[in-house]
Each structure stands twice: as structure tokens, then as C-alpha cells.
Chain A
Amino acid sequence: DAGITQSPRHKVTETGTPVTLRCHQTENHRYMYWYRQDPGHGLRLIHYSYGVKDTDKGEVSDGYSVSRSKTEDFLLTLESATSSQTSVYFCAISERQGTTEAFFGQGTRLTVV
């Protein structure tokens, strides 16, 4: 299994609070991605990173920010959590840009009440 760990695995938070999810990899892969998965929508890209301090927006980036200060860590922050951000969040990593498979973390189930 690819060395990719998400934390926390489960979280319940209140509306309006900031939340940070962490993705940690031990594979030294350049590319890292954050997705959310909701019924009927598949996986939707939130943000991705193509190197340290290099990030870009995905399809559903509003209300989310990311940071990557070192190769192994990619943080996703919900600046002020809303109920619409209740979802399962997946981190993925890949070695090269789109020509190799992406490996996924175990997912984080986030509930905003």
C-alpha cells in the first residue's frame, strides 16, 4: 500500500468553525490532491498541488484553502465550516502529472452540525 495517511479519520464540528484536514505521504510524490465525495457526484477535485508551495484550484474550491510547506504534507482548511461541506474527503498522491496512477488515502468523514 502507498504510504499515505489522512487525519483525522472522522470529525464532527460545528457550523462556522475552522477545520483542518491533514494528508501525509511517505512516497515523495510530487502531486497531491484533495477530493470530496458525495452521493451522486463521484469525486470532485477541491485543490491540488504540483510541488511545495505550488497549488491550484479544482472544481469546487470555494470555502476551502490549502497549504503545502513540505513535500510530505498537504493541508486542507475549511475556513468557516458549513453544513454543505459535510462529506467524505479523500487525499490522493501521484508521482507524475497524469501519466501514473493516483493512490488514495483512507478518507476523512467530516460532519458539520
Chain B
Amino acid sequence: QKEVEQNSGPLSVPEGAIASLNCTYSDRGSQSFFWYRQYSGKSPELIMFIYSNGDKEDGRFTAQLNKASQYVSLLIRDSQPSDSATYLCAVNQGGKLIFGQGTELSVKP
């Protein structure tokens, strides 16, 4: 079992819809969780981080963390074509930042 797993996609949503991206992790001791966005041919860039159970909102983005179930998700409201990218979930495990394989999101106009 991979330490951090994401649904591989690709995920396609129409413009204006909500995109839901999910991530599960294996290490119960993990304390911090990150979502990165990566456009094709570019470096990953941080969208959000979350440390506590529950929801964290930043504009159109909401990160959700459930430590008991060992999952973290990212919701993108009012999806735009410019949101089309690969989204990477990352989990800090003992100082190492471990990434999932990424979910490719395509937002259709």
C-alpha cells in the first residue's frame, strides 16, 4: 500500500461545478497535510495546508481533514478552466514530505 494515495483521474467537471479531490494516507502519526497544484511543465505550488480535523476554507478552495479515517480532501467551488491542472496531496511523515501520485483535473468550458 502506498503511503499516500489519490484517485488517479483524470477528473473532468464542467465550468462552475464543484471538483472534489480525495487523498488517503497510511501513517496515523501524520500531523500536517498539503495540497499542491501543478500545471503541465511547471513546478508544484502550494494551494492549502491543514493541520486540524475539520474544514479550512480559502476563497474557492476548501480542505477537509479527517484523521480518524485518514483522509484529506480538496473541494474547488465554481471551477474554472484555469483550474485545469494536476493536484498533488502531500503528507508530512516524520519530517519527510510524501506525495500522492496526483489527480489530473480538467474543467470544461
Chain B associates with chain A: yes
User: Counting CB contacts under 8 A, is A74 at the interface?
Assistant: no
Chain B interface size, as a band, is 20 to 34
Minimum distance in angstroms from A54 CB to a CB of chain B: 11
**Whole-angstrom CA separation of A16 from B100 in the bound complex:** 30
From A35, A48, A106, give the contact of B99 (CB < 8 A): A35
Tally of contact residues, A, Cβ under 8 A: 26
Determine if B88 and A107 form an interchain contact, defined as CB atoms under 8 angstroms apart. no
A50 & B95 in contact (Cβ 8 Å cutoff):
yes
Q: Which residues of B line the A interface, CB within 8 A?
A: 6, 8, 31-32, 34, 43-46, 49, 51, 88, 90, 92, 95-102
Chain A to chain B contacts (Cβ below 8 Å), 22 pairs: A31-B95, A33-B97, A40-B8, A40-B101, A41-B101, A42-B88, A42-B99, A43-B44, A45-B96, A45-B99, A90-B43, A97-B95, A98-B31, A98-B32, A98-B92, A98-B95, A98-B96, A99-B31, A99-B92, A102-B46, A102-B97, A105-B43
